[in-house]
Amino acid sequence: MTWLSIIIAGILTYLTRMTMIALVSRDMLGGKIKAVLAYVPSAVFPAIIFPAIFINDYGVFIEMNDPKIFGAIVAIVVGYFSKNVIATILSGLISYWIILFF
């Protein structure tokens, strides 16, 4: 039974990936829509970032002095100036650990 629902979930997920790539042609998207679509990364990824930082595993808002907030700020600053993915992730993690363990 669980296998069946995994297969259904897999088919649904594949459809979300395939639909727009395989079934939409360039002419169907006008210039205005394309201009809006240029914002997709900025319009999607914060929905992953914000809850992962501000809401804990139990679905509750964290305190403002939570180490995750500090880690995220460090990562933003380092990422902005270094333009380097590894530096961004590591600086965020390390500053988070420093607050967490010391």
Partner 1 sequence: MLSKKQLFTRGMLDIAPHMLSVIPFGIICGAIGIELGFNPYLVYGMSIIIFGGASQIVFLQLISGGASGLIAATSVGVINSRHLLYGAVLSEYLEKLSFIKKLLISYLVVDQGFAESNKFFKKNKTEQYLHYHLIGTGSTLWVCWQISTLAGIILGSFVPEELGLKFAIPLTFIAIIVQDLKKIDHVIVMIVCGVSSLLFFDAPFKSYIIISPIVSLFAAALILRFKK
**Where does this chain bind partner 1 (CB under 8 A)?**
1-10, 12-14, 16-22, 24-26, 29, 32, 34-55, 59, 61, 68, 71-72, 75-76, 79-80, 83-86, 88-90, 92-93, 96-97, 100
CB of 38 to partner 1, least distance (A): 8
What element of type H or E holds 70? helix 67-82
Q: Pick the closest to residue 73 from 55, 44, 49, 56 (CA basis).
A: 49
CB of 84 to partner 1, least distance (A): 8
CB of 99 to partner 1, least distance (A): 11
The residue (of 40 and 64) whose beta carbon lies closer to partner 1 is 40
CB of 92 to partner 1, least distance (A): 4
